[in-house]
């Protein structure tokens, strides 16, 4: 079992729709959870982080964390073509030293 798993996609949504990205992790002691966005050929950039159970909203983005289910998700409301990218789920493990990444989900937002 991979430490951080994501559906590789591609996920295709129409402009204005809600995009839902999911991630599961194996280390129950994990402390912090991140979503990074990566455009093709570019470096990852942080969108959101979350470390408490529940929802965290920032503009059009909402991160959701359920530690009991070892599940993290990212919702993108009112999706725009500029949101088309690969979204990386990352988990900081129980030791606090390593950040493990999922393989990423490719999102396409159709205009």
Q: Which residues in this chain contact another protein in the complex, by CB under 8 A?
A: 8, 31-32, 34, 36, 41-46, 49, 51, 88, 90, 92, 96-104
User: Whose CA is closest to 106, among 37, 9, 4?
Assistant: 9
* Shortest separation between residue 13's beta carbon and another protein, angstroms: 22
Q: Which is nearer to another protein, 1 or 111 (CB)?
A: 1
Q: Which is nearer to another protein, 43 or 111 (CB)?
A: 43
* Shortest separation between residue 23's beta carbon and another protein, angstroms: 11
Return the number of other C-beta atoms located less than 10 Å from residue 45's C-beta.
Answer: 11
Q: In which region does residue 4 sit, left (phi positive, over 0), alpha (psi from -120 to 50) or beta (all else)? A: beta
Separation CA 32–CA 56 (nearest Å) = 13
* Shortest separation between residue 19's beta carbon and another protein, angstroms: 19
* Shortest separation between residue 46's beta carbon and another protein, angstroms: 5
Residue 49 exposure: Cα atoms within 13 Å on the Cβ side: 11
Q: Which is nearer to another protein, 11 or 103 (CB)?
A: 103
């Amino acid at each position: 079992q991979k430490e951080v798993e994501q559906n590789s996609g591609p996920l295709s949504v129409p402009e204005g729709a809600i995009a839902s990205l999911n991630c599961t992790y194996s280390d129950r002691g994990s402390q912090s959870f991140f979503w990074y966005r990566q455009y093709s050929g570019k470096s990852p950039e942080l969108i959101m982080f979350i470390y408490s159970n529940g929802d965290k909203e920032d503009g059009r983005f909402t991160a959701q964390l359920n530690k009991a289910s070892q599940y993290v998700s990212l919702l993108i409301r009112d999706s725009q073509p500029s949101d088309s990218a690969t979204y990386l789920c990352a988990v900081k493990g129980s030791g606090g030293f390593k950040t493990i990444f999922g393989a990423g989900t490719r999102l396409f937002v159709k205009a």
